[in-house]
Structure 1
Amino acid sequence: MTSIADLEPLKRAKEQRAWYWYDWANSAFATTIAGVLFGPYLIAIAEEDAVNNRVSILGLSLAPGSLPAYTITASTLIAAILLPLLGAVADRTSRKKDMLAGFAWAGAAAAAGLFFVTENNWQWGIGLFIIANICMGAAAVFNDAILCLIADEEERDRVSSRGWAFGYAGGGLLLAINFALVTMHDTFGMTEGFAVRLSMLSAALWWAGFTLIPFFGLRNHEPLDVEEVSGNLVQRSFGQLWITLKELRNYPVALTFLMAYLFFNDGIQTVIGQAAVYGEEELGFETGTVLGTYLLVQFVAIFGALGFGRAAARFGAKSVIMVGLVIWSSIVTAALFLPDRALIPFLVLASAIGIVLGGTQALARSYFSLLIPKGKEAEFFSFYHALERGTSWFGALVFGLVYQFTDSYRPAIFALIGFFIVGGLLLARVDTARGIREAGNAMPKVV
């Protein structure tokens, strides 16, 4: 006798619960290190070594205040070269969860090295951050490819939104602990610099430790619908990458969305990456105040991600993302006029960021998954993350250049409105139903 019970939904639900924990794990790096502490800390220790407000690195004379933006630019440019190849490798192997964990642990190890960075070796901090950021992007390729394997088309907005909500909850919880550590460092007998370094170490350990849950809770799935190309794994992966590059023109809707995502996500990621620098260096808030505000963003973003997921179920992901981009444009416009040390307006603006932050990112991930042909999930997501992970290279570069020439972060933050406008115009051209048909995926009830 054969069983008529379909246990696959139960298996998917179990894997989905394990998958959520990777967002919980990696958000510690994204919030405590990349979002809040690394940028201001790098500026502070580089200023100790500066001459006439300039430091020298690789023969270039740079303002210390622009170093975080340039560091992020460098890491994302390198990732743009490496991630597509990793995606091709991932689509040809069943060991996606193993590669997810491997890159996560390598990134966590590099992030842990930031504990040893001081004013005497601040250049090492740039190198370690670049390695950690690239590894985070690589792990995200495998993580998002796994989403397509553990959730069907009807489930992805919900699963992706819950993953982002888990991420903001985990990142926010650790940030709350580090907020107390940094703001009350005297109580614990520490200098502020040591408290910052210890907080960055805690984020690395958090990232590594909680990655164990998806590592043991996920299954390795066999690759599907992979083209036959000859050679070893690396040679076959280069072959598949070449095939996919040639076939991208057969998926014009997915390509148009990638272009839209290039622009609007550049704006989002640059706001996230430079928010702490803007709050401290331009508005004059203390590190503890900025940490507390970032903590507020984290917890508001939990409800933003869940709320946007529910809205997408009713109105469709594309329409909800478009509304989010209008709100993002309003945010950077308001930031241009935000008064110095005006805490209440700063908190209101932070709350607005929290509402749209989780929602736009979660829905962009699940929306793009509908446009990906089966068997090429990791490779398509590698292109996606070459544009997304860490912070954007173009947005961060524009932010750094505007600051370099104006010595003010206000025009630098406002310059990002162009990314949201162009991204929104391109997204408006995306035909969702056509893209789903081109990819050969099932049509959800609401598109």
Structure 2
Amino acid sequence: MSLPGAPDASREAPARPSAHQLGHPSAHPPASASVVRAWCLYDWANSAYILSVATAVLPAWFATGIVGPQGYALLGLRMSATTLWGLTVGLSALAVFLLAPVLGAAADLSGRSGTFLRVFCLAGAAAAVALGFRGPGDVLSVMLLFAAAQAAFNCANVFYDSYLLRVAGPEDADRVSGRGYAYGYVGGGLHFLLALGLMTLHERLGLTQGQAARLAIASAGVWWALFALPAFRALRDVPARATGGPADWLRQGLTEALETARSFTRGGPAATFLLAYLLYNDGIQTTIGMATIYGKEELGLPTSVLMLTLLLIQAVAFAGAIGFARLAGRIGTRRAILLSLLVWTGVAVSAYEISGAIQFAALGGVVGLVLGGSQALSRSYYARLVPGGATARHFGYFSVVTKFSAIGGPLVFAVLRQLTGSSRPAILAVACFFLAGMVLLARVREPGPGR
């Protein structure tokens, strides 16, 4: 992707860059179809982990198979599985907050975004595989391994996302970003379908329920590493911008990360967008994160309906990511995101009224339609807002905002649920996050194409 002073793609000859040139921000977009496909395939790879491990299988297995109803004594207190899980998620978020911007800047200085991607991807995949070898009572090791896998997943995404403008170029970023998310929904959904089949048929396969869950978790780590190989080959390192070794890059990376943070405090389109994204992505993450418990607790739906709805969301999100990328090409990226947020607001309002499985599944289909579009377009829009194009250090902050945009919404949801005794007012309140994000996003003006 481009840095300040990089050549204007519209004035470049249409020569296709080599894989090595692709790693440099000044490479001529677009890249070859094989490189674009390799970049998109990384979304296919890591989505198996985030869906099957972090979202669906491991939380349930942690509660029933690792911790159990008796809880676990930690720091002199007996804590429930839910409390321990929350602490683990918080620990990983803190690690991302501290590491992502500095590592992103260090990758820019060293020219080794590809190496950083490989290291953190393989570390996360190894942690996921190791989780599959844990059993009842292995509470601390599971917490540490999952925190490591989550932190590695998010840090790897910093370097992966930073290649977007290098792979696609500004004018094609929406389409390629949407295609990447579409690959992710298919890959993640396919692995989850296999994992669901494994756990459903575990008795016929001669496995206990715990063995099936552990195999599903470990296989996601293998899937992640295996399908990341094309990206490892295509996304190359470039000559360093700074001298010295890793310690020097990290030290200078901290300086650049702090300077980037100061630049955001001075305002500008990228800073305004990050604030808008913080709000509306909080609404998205709350809706997704609370959907299962809302369906289970408020609507009394069976687990089978919830799992099938999750698969439906994955399937529809594939089409949604592609469709919204095309829509952005017609009406502009910002307007397409605003339209998706309007639909998200309607989802929150409609969720207040629904009462049965069919309505829940139908609403899940609508969620799938806008989920991929809002996320993919947010990534490509931000990449273009940073002058010269977002680099790894900028995506370090994007990753931080993504992680911390899942705090306010769940907190509001929990407080309203406790005060009212019902999840319906809580889900309705989530609409406020979408509306506030829309107001701020409407004030953003993007320089250049894709406005």
TM (norm. structure 2) is 0.85
Contact 2:63 2:81 in 1 (8 A): yes
The answer to whether structure 1 residue 256 and structure 2 residue 272 are counterparts is yes
1:306 equivalent in alignment to 2:322: yes
1:440 corresponds in structure 2 to none
1:147/1:43 Cα in 2 relative to 1: closer, same or farther (>3 Å)? same
Instruction: Kindly report which structure 2 residues correspond to 1:56-135, keeping only aligned pairs within 5 A, or say none.
Output: 56-59=73-76, 64-65=81-82, 67-135=84-152
The one-letter code sitting in structure 2 at the alignment partner of 1:349 is L
1:412 Cα deviation from its structure 2 partner: 4.8
Rounded Cα–Cα distance in structure 1 between residues aligned with 2:42 and 2:200: 28
Of 388, 399, 411 in structure 2, the residue corresponding to residue 374 of structure 1 is 388
Which deviations, in whole Å up to 9, do the C-alpha atoms of 1:274-332 show, x marking residues without a partner?
43444445544444443322111111000000000011001111111111112222223
Letter paired with 2:407: W
Contact 1:35-1:275 at 8 Å conserved across structures? no
Aligned counterpart, 2:408:
394
Deviation readout 1:54-81 (Å, 9 max, x if unpaired): x654455655445545543432233112
Which of 334, 354, 359 aligns to 1:345? It is 359
Q: Residue 324 of structure 1: which of 340, 354, 359 is its match?
A: 340
Partner of 2:260: 244
How many residues align? The count is 426
Match for residue 187 of structure 1 among 204, 216, 220: 204
Q: Show the counterpart of 1:7.
A: 16
CA gap 1:80/1:415 in 2 versus in 1, 3 angstroms: farther
Give deviations 1:104-151, integer Å, cap 9, x for gaps: 111111122222344423343333222111111100100111112222
Equivalent residue letter for 1:23: D
CA distance 1:208–1:285, change in 2 (3 Å): farther
- Structure 2 counterparts to residues 276-291 of structure 1, below 5 A: 276-280=292-296, 282-291=298-307
Taking the aligned partners of 1:297 and 1:136, their CA distance within structure 2 comes to 22
Q: Take 2:226 and 2:442, find their aligned partners in 1: how far apart are those partners?
A: 41
1:27 aligns with 47
- Residue 358 (1) aligns with residue 372 (2): yes
Equivalent residue for 1:172, pick from 179, 189, 192:
189
2:61 is the counterpart of 1:44: no
CA contact (8 A) 2:159 2:392 kept: yes
Aligned to 2:216: 199
Report the CA distance between 1:168 and its aligned residue: 0.6
Q: Are the aligned partners of 1:27 and 1:170 in contact in 2 as well (CA < 8 Å)?
A: yes
CA distance in 2, matches of 1:47, 1:400: 23
1:386 CA displacement: 0.6
Higher mean Cα deviation, 209-218 or 404-413?
Answer: 404-413
Q: 1:415: Cα distance to partner?
A: 4.1
Asked whether 1:296 is paired with 2:309, we answer: no
* Distance in 2, Cα, partners of 1:10 & 1:416: 39
Residue by residue over 1:204-224, the C-alpha shift from the partner in whole angstroms, topping out at 9 and shown as x without a partner, is 111111111100122324467
Pick which of 237-246 and 209-218 moved more.
237-246
CA 1:279–1:368 in structure 2 vs 1: closer, same or farther (change >3 Å)?
Answer: same
What is the distance in 1 between the residues matched to 2:423 and 2:375?
A: 24
**1:424 aligns to what?**
438
Counterpart-to-counterpart distance in 1, 2:184 and 2:289: 16
CA displacement, residues 254-291 of structure 1 (integer Å, 9 cap, x when unaligned): 10100111111122223333434444455444444433
The code of the aligned residue for 1:429 comes to R
- Kept in 1: contact 2:352–2:424 (CA 8 A): yes
Structure 1 residues 86 and 165: alpha-carbon distance in aligned structure 2, compared to 1, 3 A threshold:
same
213-222 or 5-14, which moves further after superposition? 5-14
Q: Distance in 1 between matches of 2:258 and 2:444?
A: 25
Q: Offset at 1:355?
A: 0.4
Matched, 1:137 2:154: yes
Deviation of the 1:387 alpha carbon = 1.6
Q: The residue matched to 2:150 in structure 1 has which SS?
A: helix
Aligned Cα root-mean-square deviation (Å): 2.9
1:146 aligns with 2:166: no
Q: Displacement of 1:417 after TM fit? A: 2.7
Q: Distance in 2 between matches of 1:18 and 1:234?
A: 28
Q: Does 1:333 align with 2:349?
A: yes
AA matched with 1:310: R
Q: Quick one: distance in 2 between partners of 1:345 and 1:287?
A: 16
Give the counterpart letter for 1:383 in structure 2: Y
Q: Which one of the candidate residues 259, 271, 283 is aligned to 2:287?
A: 271
Give the direction of change, closer, same or farther, for the CA distance of 1:387–1:404 in structure 2 (3 Å limit): farther
Gaps of 5+ in 2: 1-12, 18-28
What is the CA distance between 1:243 and its match in structure 2? 2.4
Whole-Å separation in 1 of the counterparts to 2:140 and 2:297: 21
Q: Helix, strand or coil: the match of 1:422?
A: helix
The amino acid that maps onto 1:90 is A
Structure 1, gaps ≥5 residues long = 437-442
How far apart, in 2, do the equivalents of 1:129 and 1:404 lie? Answer: 29
Aligned AA (2:258)? W
Judged with a 3 Å threshold, the aligned counterparts in structure 2 of structure 1 residues 403 and 296 are, in CA distance, closer, same or farther, namely same
Q: After the TM superposition, which of the residue ranges 145-154 and 179-188 deviates more from structure 2?
A: 179-188
Task: Pick closer, same or farther for the CA change 1:307–1:330 going to 2, 3 Å.
Answer: same
For residues 431 and 391 of structure 2, the distance between their equivalents in structure 1, rounded to whole angstroms, comes to: 31
Instruction: Please give the alpha-carbon distance, in whole angstroms, between the structure 2 residues aligned to 1:116 and 1:244.
Output: 41
